[in-house]
Amino acid sequence: MSDNPLFDVEQLPPFSKIQAGHVEPAIDRLLTDARTALSAQLAGLSEPSWKTLVEPIESRDDQLNKAWSPVSHLHAVCNNDDLRKAYSAGVAKLTEYGTELGQNKDLFNAYQALATAPEFGNLNCAQQRSVNDAIRNFKLAGVDLPEDKQEMYGEIKNRLSELSTAFSNNVMDATQGWYKHIAESTELAGLPQSQLDSAGQQAKGKSLEGYIVTLDIPSYFAVMQYADNRVLREEIYRAYVSRASASSFCLDDSKGPWDNGPLIEEILSLRHQLAQLLGFNNYAERSIATKMASATEEVVDFLTELANKTRPVAEQDLAELKAFASANGLQDELQAWDLAYYGEKLKQEQYSVSQEELRQYFPAAKVQQGLFTIVNKLYGIDVVAEEGFDTWHEDVELYRVEKDGDVIARFYFDIYARENKRGGAWMDECRVRRINNGKLQLPVAYLVCNFTPPIGDKPSLLTHDEVTTLFHEFGHGLHHMLTKVDVAAVSGINGVPWDAVELPSQFMENWCWQGEALAMISSHHETGEPLPGDLLRKLLAAKNFQAGMQMLRQIEFSLFDFLLHQNYNADHPEDPQKVLDRIRKNIAVVTPPVFNKFQNGFSHIFSGGYAAGYYSYKWAEVLSADAFSKFEEEGIFNQRTGRRFLENILEKGGSQDIAELYKKFRGRQSNIDALLRHNGITA
């Protein structure tokens, strides 16, 4: 066992040596050891202290994380069948262990004892916070409930987990249970050739001639945006928005309709019961117990204010679209299935900016160097490339971050798409900052993207969207790497409330829209010219295209999610459709047709983790825009402002109340003004 590379955790992970066969033995052994050690620890614990209770637990968790992190990372970036099996087995074991810890009453009692011991007052604020968070999480897992209620809690949790899976299966089955076969390309007139080709591919896949349109997002959107055939658009729209409802369209009558209606009712009822078991009035209260928002009213007021300010601009957006549609041949009322179609045409006509043209100015290497220059100006950190390290692919780079000559963190950069690598972009933890046996363990991050790789001597050229993605993920990375907190549970992004964790990432995106910063990250890959002012102006104009309508739609979803959970009445549950109708009547400028059952496919809140938390997207946008507005006021490269952000937000992680930290940085609470201004909603 000692030659298992997953136990080699003192240095950076030996990626090239890790095989699927190493995973289960390592995890089994670490879990067995952890269980034995925990029993022994708790048995011998008379007066829990930080040293006797938390330190050993944190060490074991860290040991597990350091063994698991490269496995989960390789699973994402170098997938193969063996690794997939080993990974699933590992996830199951770790989940079981996690649940076991969360339900361990003796452990909970030990934390409680520590929190009330005289020593507690001597702990630093990160330590205190981590103990309090742990106790809160135990309580939210039902640990201190009486036995009968604890059993009920477990049953509700299990049923909710079944319902969540059933919900997403229904959405998937309903999406796949319908398609439309189209014989002639003329019926799909308007679609770009690439979209037409993939519709042809779909048909071939079913051994059919012609084309197939499905309800998968790319296919659905292509028709809604480009198909000139209005009748076809209506047909596809009806099928799409009825998915997983009583009137779901399915080609095979013996299947479907995969109606999520009854599931939604049961989910809402069980969530309400769960919240009440834990002492909350409703599930919205339960949701914000772990978030930055401090009261349900705060969330509703926030969304309502945002809606009221946005609505007039959304009305103008709609009026502009209607006028454009009539001028371009629409004879009657603009319908739901016309919005994307005329929207796309209007955008092309008035705000056309070609990503292809833009990407000539964003060679990956230039963007990367520019990004490092920007963070150097803001936070005084130097990013230095390392050589001769163990890796999982030759394209991967390793950098160290230095401040005043000291190494404070490292990160892996794996930014090109390739086979067997999961799509998308993300930041993940390889090592977390903490004190390990009296020695400081530095944070290490993975930064992963999927950009087009260089081909031959042609460099990798990024679209502006990709540049923004890179800045976003690097923002998460800085939060992880620049932390000064030594307690793992609240160091870096750990322990940061969900509605605030996107603050540092969205915040970084702002530099991608500033001329002064763009000059540092752009240069034509052949001529070396910086991004022309004309292109920049177009880029900025396109950014806010229909921003009012889009913002209002997101607020509508957020309010629906939140009020549905907040106002749930167990004696007389209201039809979710009525809740939605009322919100639309109050705030929306576009009212979808009655057959639209959008809520039946709202997986974020019924099968994802966003229940009574969908508002978090907007909440974090407000924070990041408001934070950036301080830089707009004081200079986007103002070092003093940069240092304030560093010292109050990035370095503190989850160790203190984020609302307090934010106030220290900004000198006041956040407000929605900057977000509205950045979206062109106010001047």
Span near Zn ion by CB under 5 A; candidates 157-165, 227-235, 504-512, 589-597: 504-512
**What is the distance between the alpha carbons of residues 395 and 450, in angstroms, rounded to a whole number?**
12
Q: From the CB of 377, what's the least distance to Zn ion, in Å?
A: 23
| Structure tokens, 207 | 């051994």
Q: What residue has token string 């404070």?
A: 408
**What is the distance between the alpha carbons of residues 201 and 588, in angstroms, rounded to a whole number?**
38
* Closest listed residue to residue 136, CA positions, set 160, 113, 108, 95: 108
Q: Which residue is nearest to Zn ion (CB)?
A: 505
Residue (20 or 447) nearer to Zn ion, CB: 447
Distance of CA 673 to the CA centre of its chain: 24
Find residue 429's DSSP bridge partners: 445
| Contact of 451 with 365, CB cutoff 8 Å | no
Q: From the CB of 427, what's the least distance to Zn ion, in Å?
A: 8
| Contact of 418 with 395, CB cutoff 8 Å | yes
| Structure tokens, 167 | 């919900």
Q: From the CB of 526, what's the least distance to Zn ion, in Å?
A: 33
Indicate if 473 belongs to the active site.
Answer: yes
Task: Look up residue 389 and give its DSSP letter.
Answer: -
Residue (619 or 637) nearer to Zn ion, CB: 619
| Contact of 386 with 398, CB cutoff 8 Å | yes
Q: From the CB of 145, what's the least distance to Zn ion, in Å?
A: 34
Span near Zn ion by CB under 5 A; candidates 115-123, 498-506, 507-515, 543-551: 498-506
Binding to Zn ion (CB under 5 A) within 442-461 occurs at none
616 binds Zn ion (CB under 5 A): no
Q: Which of 505, 514, 523, 566 binds Zn ion (CB under 5 A)?
A: 505
Binding to Zn ion (CB under 5 A) within 46-65 occurs at none
- Edge to edge, the sheet with strand 444-451 lists 381-385, 397-403, 406-416, 444-451, 426-431
Span near Zn ion by CB under 5 A; candidates 176-184, 249-257, 484-492, 503-511: 503-511
Element (H, E) at 370: helix 364-379
Residue (173 or 499) nearer to Zn ion, CB: 499
x-marked contacts with Zn ion along 301-320 as a string, rule CB under 5 A: --------------------
Q: From the CB of 476, what's the least distance to Zn ion, in Å?
A: 6
Span near Zn ion by CB under 5 A; candidates 106-114, 351-359, 457-465, 502-510: 502-510
Number of chain positions touching Zn ion (CB under 5 A): 1
Phi first, then psi, for residue 641 (nearest 5°) are -65, -40
Find residue 147's DSSP bridge partners: none
Residue tagged active-site, from 473, 502, 509, 651:
473
| Structure tokens, 465 | 């969207």
CA angle, 129 then 132 then 134, to 5°: 110
Span near Zn ion by CB under 5 A; candidates 32-40, 378-386, 480-488, 497-505: 497-505
Phi first, then psi, for residue 405 (nearest 5°) are 85, -10
Q: From the CB of 502, what's the least distance to Zn ion, in Å?
A: 5
Residue (471 or 568) nearer to Zn ion, CB: 471
Q: From the CB of 625, what's the least distance to Zn ion, in Å?
A: 15
Which positions touch Zn ion (CB under 5 A)?
505
- Indicate which residues carry an active-site annotation: 473
